[in-house]
Chain A
Amino acid sequence: MNIDSIKDGIVIDHIQAKKGLDIYNALKLGELDCSVAIITNAKSNKMGRKDIIKIDKNIDLDLNILGYIDPNITINIIENDERVDKYHVELPKEITNIIKCKNPRCITSIEQELKHIFILTDKEKRTYRCKYCETLNEE
């Protein structure tokens, strides 16, 4: 199967197979006005199978959240048919409205329109705690 290469844009590669749609939703790519391709179950020497997302425009996306979802993901920035940058995204220091606090005693369970914010407290163990009640996020 062939998908056209992109001239200017972002390629999110090495996504765990079948997780592409989750990332599409987390980054709200459906709201963009450019072409976005999700390739699922592509062959990968490293991973066996993987998903890839191609975004046909160099836009300013908050990609930090990808570091939380899957640290193995690689980001490729394409300009004039050339890859000008390739990197892994670091764990974000703070994540908003991606995970919900499960502590029934947390203020987020009752306060209207309060954002669910988690703070990175241990980088090595990938530990996040609720900003309000400090409850650990159990993945």
Chain B
Amino acid sequence: MRHLIDIKDLSVQEIDELIGVAKDIIAHPEKYQEKCKYKKLATLFFEPSTRTRLSFEAAMMELGGNVIGFSEASSSSASKGESVSDTTRMVGCYSDIIAMRHPKEGAPLVASLKSTVPIINAGDGGHSHPTQTLTDLLTIFCEKNRLENLTIGLCGDLKFGRTVHSLITAMSRYKNIKFILISPDELKVPEYVKKEILEKNDIPYIETNDIEEHIGDLDILYMTRVQKERFFNEEDYLRLKDYYILNKEKLEKAKQDLCIMHPLPRVNEIAVEVDDDPRACYFKQARYGKYIRMALILKLLEIK
């Protein structure tokens, strides 16, 4: 039995296979609509998340399966003091697979240690969110038709943004990748990510706080939100939240086949006027998220 706790749990070959299945689902959805008949996905969301939970639930439903679960800790037995491990073992009696979001980092790993069914980490605090990374990889592959030979710009909160760190980890395993890391000084990529991932794998990168200087070089522009909940000081948040706003003017120098991504929710870091630009891929990205989760559920349930 396999779990997905961290993106590193999957080999490059396995990721390629998942992308292959997701593409087949997109092309032939009817082939998959009863693959998970009589199977149940439990969504254990100890903190609220609209997108990820609905994406998992939609994924299971499109595979013909059913969904049970809760969407906040107050409606679960965690509010009575039950441990993550016990909750998981109990839910494993009623379901075939579990997707878990938890505010405490490492909770899905703890759940997996004693679980009788596969566990998918649907986000644990600021630590890891592997299905977002899979979503990003499928988006890049579908939009650029490759995962190699890419210049990727990451923009915004590169310090606290777990999606950014996971994407760097995942893309560092492909050939000829270059990163342009665009952030204010206070929100730069942490040293350990640079040393233990980028430099260790000889991945070239440039750090800058000027988005316009490098926008013309990019194949991918991955925008992120400055998240209020990651700041202890409201003043710092207010000062940094509007640092980068992507608008039509800034995009003038960008390539015609640039792919603009964002894990959503967007606040104001991408102007609404950009939504109609054919290079805006962030809503398509949300759709790809459902397909890759369908592929993942099939893999972990060992359904061909």
Write out the residue numbers on chain A whose beta carbons fall within 8 Å of the beta carbon of B126.
105
B contact patch SS: mixed
CB of A107 within 8 A of CB of B192, answer no
Size bracket, chain A contacts: 10 to 19
Check A114 against B192 for contact (C-beta < 8 Å): no
Closest B residue by C-beta to A101? B106
Are A111 and B85 also in contact (CB < 8 A) when A105-B103, A106-B106, A130-B106 are? Answer: yes
Contact with B along A16-47 (1 / 0, CB 8 A): 00000000000000000000000000000000
Whether B192 pairs with A106 at a CB distance below 8 angstroms is: no
Q: How far, in angstroms, from A108 to B84 measured CA to CA in the complex?
A: 11
* CB nearest to A110 among chain B residues: B104
Verify B127–A133 contact, CB threshold 8 A: yes
User: A136 near B: Cβ within 8 Å?
Assistant: yes
Q: Kindly report which residue of chain A lies nearest to residue B78, judged by CB atoms.
A: A110
Q: Which residues of A contact B104 (CB under 8 A)?
A: 105-107, 109-111
Question: A132: nearest residue on chain B (CB-CB)?
Answer: B106
Other-chain contact of B107, A103, A107, A122 (Cβ < 8 Å): A107
Which B residue sits closest to A129, measured CB to CB? B192
**Interface residues in A103-139 (C-beta closer than 8 Å to B):** 103, 105-112, 114, 121-122, 130-136
> A130: nearest residue on chain B (CB-CB)?
B106
* B127 contacts across to A, CB distance below 8 A: 105, 133-134
Say yes or no for B110: interface residue by CB 8 A criterion: yes
In the bound complex, do residue A106 and residue B110 qualify as a contact, i.e. CB atoms below 8 Å apart?
A: no
Chain A residues whose CB sits within 8 angstroms of the CB of B103 once the complex forms:
105
Extra contacts besides A107-B102, A136-B192 (8): CB < 8 Å: A105-B103, A105-B127, A106-B106, A107-B104, A109-B104, A112-B83, A132-B106, A135-B105
Residues of A whose CB lies within 8 Å of any CB of B are: 103, 105-112, 114, 121-122, 130-136
Instruction: Please give me the 4 A-B residue pairs with the lowest Cβ-Cβ distance, nearest first.
Output: A132-B106, A133-B105, A107-B106, A107-B104
